[in-house]
Amino acid sequence: MWHQVQRAVVMDNQQPLKDINLISPDDWASTPEPVKHLVRVLMAEEQGAIADFSLNGQHITALRAQIQREQTLKRVFQSIRNSLDLDTIFTTATTEIAQLLAPLDCCIVHYVADQLIWHTVAAFHHRSDHPSTIDLKIPDANNLCSAQLRRRQVVKIDDTRSLYDQVNQSVAETTPGAWLLTPLVIEGRLWGCFSLLSPHPLSWSDDQVALAQAVATQLEVAIYQANLYQRLHQELDERRQVEAALRDSQSCFQAMAANLPGAIFRYILHSDGSDGVLYMSQGCHSLWEVDAEAVLDDANLLWAMVHPDDRPAMQASVLESARTLEPWRFTWRIITPSGREKWLEAAGQPTHHPNGDIVWDTLILDISDRKRAELRFQALAANTPGVIYQYVLCPDGTDAITYISPGCQEIWELTPQQIMDNVDLVWRMVSLEDLLPIRQSVLASARTLTLWTGEWKITTPSQQVRWLQATARPHPKANGDVVWDGLMLDITPQQVALEQRQQAEAALLASERRLSTLISNLPGFVYRSCNVPDYTAEFISQGSTMVTGYTPDEYLRGDVSYGQHIHPDDQQAVWDLAQSALQAHQPYECEYRIITKAGEERWVWERGQGIYADDGTLQWLEGFITDISDRKQAEAALRDSEARYRLLAENSKDLVCLHQLDGQYLYVSPSCQALLGYKYTQMWQQYPAQFIHSEDRSWVLEELQEAANGGKTVPITYRMRQKSGQYRWFETLTKPIMNGDGQIIQLQTTSRDVTERIQAQEQLQYDALHDSLTGLPNRHLLMDRLDLAIYRAQRLNCYAFAVIFLDLDRFKVINDSLGHLAGDKLLVAIARRLQAVLKEPNLVARLGGDEFVILLENIQDFLQVVQVTERLFEALRHPFSLDTRDVYTTASAGIVLASPDYREAVHLLRDADIAMYRAKTKGKACYEIFDAAMHAHAMHRLHLENDLRRAIDNQEFMLHYQPIVALDTGQLVGFEALIRWQHPHDGLKSPGEFIAIAEEIGLISAIDRWGLAAACQQLAHWQADFPQWANLKISVNLSAQDLQCPNLLAEIDQVLAQTGLRGQSLTLEITESMLIEDIETTIDLLSQMKHRGLQISIDDFGTGYSSLSYLHRLPVNSLKVDRSFVNQIQEDNKNHQIIKTIMALSRQLHLNAVAEGIETQIQVDWLRSLGYDLGQGYFFSHPLTAEAATDLLAQSLTWPMTIAR
């Protein structure tokens, strides 16, 4: 019936049917119009079943009651629409609707979004004893009804006993029964809800829902109108206040402008290039000698007075200010109508109007007197040597140079304006050693107000070094400033000359000291004598006492003459040699004997030369004399020794040689022909390298060199080439030959042919290390090689080896049946086949009996060992021909892979033997790997790969979400999606346990595609459930394989389309090392992502390959600092500097900086102080499940941010 009445009202304009027979004509005329409409509707709906329709008195009564309710609703709707007071609207609506729909109660609840609560603002309850619900506050969090209303859905609760969330259960305790909650949406935002409440359980009908929605629609219109009215009323009040303040401001401005020096005016430049003056104060006449009214009529009056030389610059400055909207400042000259020249200064602020006009509010002052004074002062400063300046020091420590003459450009290479704008430019040029003393002296002058003087050194931008000297007198200001007026001079030329003189004096003094020390330490003495007949000594060094026994003083006093000491037999020869050289102006050298003060005869060596005047006259004789007696004795001894040596050498069967220190043969004994086939003359003056075997040459020469350097005499054995080309082994003993001073001057070698001995030793060594039957290495050699392999494996990360223990399966049967001779032949044949399979440096050895051991070196993995083992098995599978029979045999193998646990070779053989016996238990031609750890690992990896493939098919992965927080506000801005594997048997696995393997076997892209879709789907649900989190973002990691996938962009587009997410909501994290593999392709791919609105972040920044050279080209949004830098951040720690540098780099490139791995408040404080935008880590939250993250969003949690530093 209710639905039919609605239809009747809707179709009020429908014409009555002509064949209505349900009501008599008399009754039809008196029937109320709404009933007529209902009848029309009912008849129209019946479509032919009209004959069965009858309308009795009961129907008429029901229709009249319904019409009365419709009229009541219409009155209520009209009343609330006509009211602009919210309280009146709410009271009227709840009271009237509740009375109309009795026994239903009615209330209106407002949603306070910033407080996340529901607040009851109006209610009507039929029961007088019903608890008041006005001002009732209902939490929004964990409220299922609230979540439905925020999705703009009508909430129907037929029985409040079915509620299961605690919030609504609590409300139902005071308001049990049934609820019908209809959302109220104002201007696109949820305002609250209109609620109908039944005291008893009730199944809400479609008609009741439609009525509630109709009431809600009227309430939305009324609330909107009331809110609009309140805003308009408030804006009207504010406008009245502004207009009143504007009138007061204009009155004050006019009064102030009349009393200001100069003039205030408003100048306009139209978009078409024309200009004008909108306002001019009365000061106009005192500046330009024209009235303000005349300027308002014609702005060209002002332009005409501008000095012709200043007009172009002034016009350009106005246009530049109009272009940049920077404040306009200018100084110029004018010529007034009376012919006076004035200097004016102006400052104005431009304003850009919507129509393109630019308006300046400007103050203009007459600065003619100041300008003339400045010009006079500048002329004075230009003619003053040095630089005139004014320096100001403020109480807070800041300083400035307020004036400096143009001469500063020659000193600092800066203009006066540059220095006055930034005094630090001058301070930075002061040398470090002078900076602190200069500043301290300035502070002392400021305290005592005494004259300040100083000298210091600067380095100019062109790297010129200058010395400056300054004098300045301080005087205080009332505000606490201290001002110095001073003169500064460039004293660089004087200072350079002073330094050069000081350096020359110091160098001369040092030279004299070095010369004195050198002369004192010489093994002899230096002299200087006058050119007089007896060559009187002028200078003799202290060494004379050791050589002659006479002191320098005895010579200088003339007590004795040096010429008297020369042996009588040598005097004439020495005199003749010296005179001949002096006459030829040449130096001379000679050796002779002297008689010392003690009467001893000694040999000396002298070198002398003359010092001549410009005319060639000999003036001085100077030279050096040293004692060579020891050398003379050694030479005599050497001559005797050589005679004896030659006698012995020429009669020896050994090869006896004498060498220079570089190895050259000085003497070769005649036995060289019998030993090597060379004559003496064929080896004399040759070098040993020409005769030594190439494999021995380098180390033999090194041994000879060591003997020459330090007298080493250890015998060495090496090969020398005979003239026939054959090589013989020689054992050589080297003996150094020294002079009287103990210096090695020659080498003597004695070499003996030991070829037969060496050959015998080699055969013995071979026999000791090889099997006599097969010729294979035996146990001794094998153990040596195994020890060496263990040693290499412990020291080289890239080196690995394996041991294979082979045992023939049927050898005993063959040996017993065919005899030991046949068995030996079989072992030899097997040895040859095993050797044919293996290559150097691999080794096959026979331990004894039918046991062989193979050492495989430089292996890559255990699969390589298995392949070699199978090749060995294949080589043994073919028959062996023994005499007239074909014999078949196989072998079992035990394999040991090298590991750090092995320290001794015997342990390797033991484990290989055990593994071989295990293989025999499996049957013939089988092998077993002993290394249980490696075997277990390989099997575990195989199982893990299979489980990963199954996990993708069964969707065993899940995502955890770690919050990303704004460090300045503590607000949640997004989550990073982190993959987890819920293994059916092993439980939850972290990414570190399977991601690397997934990348290796090519499964990572499938996992990443699932993670991307799941993360986007979850974010879409959150944004729908929580409208206040509409800007929430999600970060997803991509692998290198993802970037190489040609369908990556298409897959991302599909996910965004399916979930309805905007690209701005998704951040793709890419590691630093992935970017430079193919930089141009990567840049193109990232650019396409950026075009879609996707956010790009470089993950683990600072740990991968350096991409700084490409970073400025990469279309990325943020840099994510690796947790390893954040974990140990301290001010004095290098990690702090790295993080600080990354922050500076981010700012320079306009990128966001994100820090991960934050765990402490101290780290938060440091990162905030450095300016980092975002952060994540255990300090804020561990990674959360989707349910826990949903609860976090429902709470709208904000983390408190504090700065401890």
Q: What is the layout of strands, in order, in the sheet containing 744-753?
A: 665-668, 655-659, 744-753, 727-738, 716-721
Closest CA to 625 of 586, 581, 596, 590: 590
pLDDT, tens digit, 9 for 90 and up, residues 788-831: 999 998 888 889 999 999 999 888 888 878 888 888 999 999 99
Question: What's the mean per-residue pLDDT of the chain?
Answer: 85
| Buried residues in 255-283 as b, exposed as e (16+ CB within 10 A) | eebeeeebbbbbbbbeeeeebbbebbbeb
The CATH number of whichever domain residue 328 belongs to comes to: 3.30.450.20
Query: Which has the higher per-residue pLDDT, 369 or 327?
Result: 327
Would the pLDDT of 191 be above 80? yes
Say if residue 977 is in the same domain as residue 1124: yes
Q: Average pLDDT of 545-563?
A: 86
pLDDT at residue 474, rounded to an integer = 94
Q: Which of 565, 564, 567, 591 is nearest to 577 (CA)?
A: 591
Judge whether residue 1047 has pLDDT over 80: yes
- C-alpha distances out from residue 661 to 238, 655, 734, 914, Å: 109, 18, 12, 61
Assign residue 976 a region: left if phi > 0, alpha if psi is -120 to 50, beta otherwise?
beta
Which residue, 800, 841, 807, is CA-closest to 931?
800
CA–chain centroid gap for 451, Å, is: 53
Q: Looking at residue 536, what is its pLDDT?
A: 77
Give SS3 for 155. Answer: strand
| 814: number of Cβ within 10 Å | 20
* Bridge partners (DSSP) listed for residue 667: 658
Tokens of 714: 């250890």
**Is residue 1151 domain-shared with residue 1187, that is, in the same domain?**
yes
* pLDDT surpasses 80 at 925: yes
**pLDDT tier for residue 871 given thresholds of 50, 70 and 90:** very high
Q: Among the listed ranges 308-322, 421-435, 1105-1119, which one has the minimum average pLDDT value?
A: 1105-1119
Segment holding 780, helix H or strand E? helix 779-795
Closest Cα partner for 749 from 694, 856, 672?
672
Asked if residues 1065 and 964 have their Cβ atoms less than 8 Å apart, the reply is no
- What's the domain count of the chain? 8
Helix (H) or strand (E) holding 1100: strand 1095-1101
One domain for residues 752 and 660: yes
Residue 826: both structure tokens together: 């079989």
Cα dihedral sign, 379-384-386-387 = negative
- Give the pLDDT band (50/70/90) at residue 252: low
154 within 8 A of 139, measured Cβ to Cβ: no
Q: What is the mean pLDDT of residues 1028-1035?
A: 94
Question: What CATH number does the domain containing 882 carry?
Answer: 3.30.70.270
* pLDDT over threshold 60, residue 1: no
Whether 789 and 855 have beta carbons less than 8 Å apart is answered as yes
In a domain, residue 686? The reply is yes
User: CA-CA distances (angstroms) from residue 663 to 387, 639, 696, 707?
Assistant: 74, 21, 15, 11
DSSP E strands: which ranges in 409-509?
452-459, 465-476, 482-490
Quote the pLDDT of residue 1029: 93
Q: Within 13 Å of residue 296, how many CA atoms lie on the same side as its CB?
A: 10
pLDDT > 90? residue 705: no
Query: Does a structural domain hold residue 375?
Result: no
Q: Is residue 962 located within the same domain as residue 1071?
A: yes
Task: Choose the weakest-confidence range: 169-183, 253-267, 552-566, 695-709.
Answer: 253-267
What residue has token string 């602020």?
A: 349
Which of 24-38, 163-177, 262-276, 1095-1109 has the least mean pLDDT? 24-38
Contact between 348 and 366 (Cβ < 8 Å)? no
52 pLDDT above the threshold of 60 = no
β 1066-1071/1033-1037 pair status: parallel
More reliable by pLDDT, 639 or 225: 225
* Own/partner long-range contacts of 907-911 (Cβ < 8 Å, ≥24 apart): 908/786, 908/790, 908/803, 909/786, 909/803, 909/805, 909/853
With both helix axes pointing from N to C terminus, report the angle between 57-82 and 2-10 in degrees, rounded to the nearest 10: 60
- Percent of the chain whose pLDDT exceeds 70: 88
Q: Are residues 682 and 751 in the same domain?
A: yes
pLDDT reported for residue 16:
39
Q: What is the rounded average pLDDT of the residues 457-472?
A: 92
User: Within a domain: residue 500?
Assistant: no
DSSP, collapsed to helix, strand or coil, labels residue 511 as: helix
Query: What confidence category does residue 710 fall into, taking pLDDT thresholds of 50, 70 and 90?
Result: confident
Within 285-378, strands assigned E span 328-335, 341-352, 358-366
| pTM: predicted TM-score of the whole model, two decimal places | 0.33
Q: Which of 866, 901, 930 is the endpoint of a domain?
A: 930
Sequence-distant (6+) residues with CB within 8 A of 198 are 103, 104, 105, 177, 178, 179, 180
Q: What is the mean pLDDT of residues 493-503?
A: 84
pLDDT at 7: 38
pLDDT at 15: 40
**Domain-located, residue 1045:** yes
Is residue 703 in some structural domain?
yes
H or E element in which residue 584 lies: none
Q: How deeply is 444 buried, as exposed, middle or buried, from its count of CB atoms within 10 A (0-12, 13-18, 19+)?
A: exposed
pLDDT category at 931 given cuts 50, 70, 90 is: low
Alpha-carbon torsion (12, 14, 18, 21), positive or negative: negative
Say whether both 343 and 290 belong to one domain. yes
Instruction: Count other Cβ atoms within 10 Å, centred on residue 1038.
Output: 23
Sheet containing strand 891-897, strands side by side: 843-848, 851-857, 801-808, 891-897, 927-929
- C-alpha to C-alpha distance for 291 and 283, rounded to whole angstroms: 9
How confident is the model over 223-246, as a mean pLDDT? 80
Confidence band of 505 (pLDDT split at 50, 70, 90): confident
Residue 1174: band (very low, low, confident or very high) from pLDDT cuts 50, 70, 90: very high
Encoded amino acid at 844, one letter = V
The 3-state DSSP composition of the chain as helix, strand, coil percent (nearest 5) reads 45, 25, 30
The letter for the amino acid at 814 is I
Tell me whether residue 469 is in a domain. Answer: yes
Q: Residue 392: what pLDDT?
A: 95
Across 271-275, 331-335, 858-862, 1110-1114, least confident range: 1110-1114
Is a pLDDT exceeding 90 seen at residue 730?
yes
Domain boundary among 490, 506, 532: 490
Write down the pLDDT at residue 47. 41
Amino acid 393: pLDDT: 94
CA distance 210 to 954: 46
Residues 155 and 265 placed together within one structural domain of the fold: no
Q: In what order do the strands lie in the sheet with 189-198?
A: 137-139, 117-124, 105-112, 189-198, 178-186, 155-157
Among residues 318, 342, 370, the one where a domain terminates is: 370
Task: Give the per-residue pLDDT at 1024.
Answer: 93
Asked if 716 and 798 sit in the same domain, the reply is no
Element (H, E) at 172: helix 166-174
Question: In whole angstroms, what is the distance from residue 967 CA to residue 1169 CA?
Answer: 10
Q: Residue 482's pLDDT is what?
A: 95
Find the helix or strand (DSSP H, E) in which 1128 lies: none
147 Rama sector, left if φ>0, alpha if ψ -120 to 50, beta otherwise = alpha
Number of other residues whose CB lies within 10 A of the CB of residue 883: 9
Same domain, 983 and 922: no
How much is the average pLDDT of 215-231? Answer: 86
Domain with 362 in it:
260-370
**Are 751 and 775 found together in one domain?**
no
Kindly state the percentage of the chain with pLDDT values over 90.
41
Of residues 1037 and 234, more confidence is placed in 1037
The DSSP call for residue 742 is: S
> In DSSP terms, which residues pair with 655 in a beta bridge?
751
User: Is there a contact between 884 and 918 (Cβ–Cβ < 8 Å)?
Assistant: no
In a domain, 648, yes or no: no
Q: Above 60 in pLDDT, residue 30? A: no
Q: Quick one: pLDDT at residue 234?
A: 83
Do residues 332 and 344 touch, judged by C-beta distance below 8 A? yes
Q: Has residue 105 got a pLDDT over 80?
A: yes
**pLDDT computed for residue 765 by the predictor:** 82
Does position 21 have pLDDT exceeding 50, yes or no?
no
Query: What pLDDT was estimated at residue 130?
Result: 84
Q: Which of the given ranges, 54-68, 322-336, 366-380, 543-557, has the highest pLDDT on average?
A: 322-336
Looking at the structure, tell me whether residues 791 and 852 fall in a common domain. yes
Helices 33-46 and 57-82 pack at an angle, to 10 degrees, of: 110
Examine the domain organization and report whether 867 and 917 are in the same domain. yes
Amino acid at 1025: D
Q: Is residue 642 part of a domain?
A: no
**Low-confidence winner among 794-803, 985-994, 1080-1089, 1102-1111 (lowest mean pLDDT):** 1102-1111
Between 1167 and 1100, residue with greater pLDDT: 1167
Q: How high is the pLDDT of residue 73?
A: 76
Largest CA distance in the chain: 185
